[in-house]
Amino acid sequence: MHFFKYFSPLSNTWLFLDDLREEKQETEGRKLVEKMLRPKKFIGIAILLLLGFYHIFYTGANVDLTLFKTSKAIKNVKFVEKERIHESYKAKKKIVNEVAAKKGTVDRAPTSLHDSLVFPSTANDFTSKLEYAYSKSGQDLKVLQKEVEERRSKLVRSPLYGEDQSCKNNNRIAGLTKLFDAWAHMAKLFNIRYFIVYGSLIGAERDRNIVPYDLDDDVMMSEDEVPKLQKMIDDNFSVGDNKIHLRIHPEYKTHWRKRTKICCNGKVSHGPNSNTCWDQCAVPNPLGRLILGPVLHIGIIGYKLIKNNTVLKMTCHEEYGFKTEFNWKDLAPRDCEFLGHKTYCPTNANLINTEVYGKHWKDPYS
């Protein structure tokens, strides 16, 4: 007993060392377990990532990996999502329309007055077609014409034509006035965008009237406007009937030098000096003409908008050596008055008049 008592401090030391040894072994064991578990954490994360990519690629999201690399890809993804939503809407809308169709309440795109017109067999010229179209519109053409004539009666001739009005109207003025009445009423009814040019523009700038010695009226419109007046066109007629007819060249989208010369009766012409027909319709240069008889007409000049709709181009000017391209902002239509009609003129009338007639275009005696 004394022996153990003597050695008891040493015994305690050994016990202490044993405790340390056991604690160290436990610590090393935990570390070993942690090392063994660490790959499992990475495996778990990897599994989650794989599940995420699986969801992205196979649930219809249509996402490309490049969307994380470029903003363009992100925009593409948004567009795809938008299209998906739109397609879903269209599918639902189709079902709604199918149900509504049975009830007679299906939504339909609005039809323009022009497109809905079915002319009777008696409407075989421009005037009769115009009167019929106005009757279907609910507007009174006679009342509108009376208002125009009242404004026209108040026009005063410019002194540029002589203090004593010695520069008298030629025998075409009455017919040209009748033609412009018909054109302006049609353009208003069908919302056709146009503006007056050349001699008609000079007249509007001087005194809002026709130049006394002018030989025709002139308007300019985009080729894109032709469908708006398609049903008013007469393909085969005789200029001898002294009725108003609208003729748009059937090849108006082709360059004027390559257009076929076609007479008003529909026959092909080989020129004024050939044995074939030749009349107002056979002239290939203008887009078309509103015709009254063998001589009188409104020249309808076509143009195209190019360079993102910033430039107006008219190839018809090539024949006369004039400038063919203008900034759209210079020729864009503005409100003006001509022959009692509220019509349209180019924004910068001086620009195009100077190009065609020179800088003294305002002076009739230059």
pLDDT higher than 80, residue 144: yes
Burial of 51 (C-beta count, 10 Å sphere; 0-12/13-18/19+):
exposed
Residue-wise pLDDT for 286-297, tens only, equals 899 999 999 999
Give burial (CB, 10 Å; 0-12/13-18/19+) of 52: exposed
Which residue, 102, 105, 107, 131, is CA-closest to 119?
A: 131
Consecutive H or E run containing 355: helix 349-357
What pLDDT does residue 35 have? 55
Q: What is the pLDDT of residue 299?
A: 96
176-189 pLDDT tens trace: 999 999 999 999 99
Separation CA 173–CA 204 (nearest Å): 14
pLDDT at 280: 92
Which whole-number Å values give the CA distances from 339 to 8, 67, 77, 237, 298, in the listed order? Answer: 134, 62, 57, 28, 14
Residue linked to tokens 């864009």: 332
Cα 84 to Cα 98: distance, rounded to the nearest angstrom: 21
Residues of the chain with pLDDT > 90, as a percent, come to 52
Classify strands 244-248 and 217-222 as parallel, antiparallel or unpaired: unpaired
User: The pTM is what?
Assistant: 0.69
pLDDT range class, residue 221, cuts 50, 70, 90:
very high
The answer, yes or no, to whether residue 349 has pLDDT greater than 50, is: yes
pLDDT for 364: 74
Confidence of residue 69 (pLDDT cuts 50, 70, 90): very low
